[in-house]
Amino acid sequence: MNVEPFDYDVRNLHEQCRQHMYHDVVLTMRDGNSFHGIIEDVGTDDMGVLVGEDVMEREDELDGDPRQFFGGGYGRPRRRFRRYRRRRFPLGSLAALALLPYIAPPYYPYYPYY
């Protein structure tokens, strides 16, 4: 059985993607781009990922607000939102897949009060 190295890499990444479905991952593409997202589904040659993006409130939405805000007359700050969009990535363009580590809060031992 003659298997090309590229085909072996794609099959290996396909298995990794299936194992890490519904987890936060960092996808590194062959062209150097990297994306942070959640793997939603994995097909035979592509995968669907929910990619997060930051969205800022537009300036014109702030002008019509009749409320007064404190802060020295500068108005209120722009609000920031996070939303997810579905994107499809071909498995052939994927170079690496890494799980984002879950950082647990620090453990503070019980302090006996006397």
Domain boundaries, the chain: 5-99
Beta strand extents in the chain (DSSP E only): 24-29, 34-42, 46-56, 80-90, 94-99
More confident residue, 13 or 51: 51
What is the β-pairing status of strands 94-99 and 80-90?
A: unpaired
User: What pTM does this model have?
Assistant: 0.64
Q: Chain-centre distance of CA 99, in angstroms?
A: 11
CATH architecture observed for domain 5-99: Roll (2.30)
At 45 the pLDDT is 87
Average pLDDT score over residue span 36-45: 90
Provide the pLDDT for residue 87: 94
* Distance of alpha carbon 93 from alpha carbon 30, whole angstroms: 6
pLDDT at 35 over 80: yes
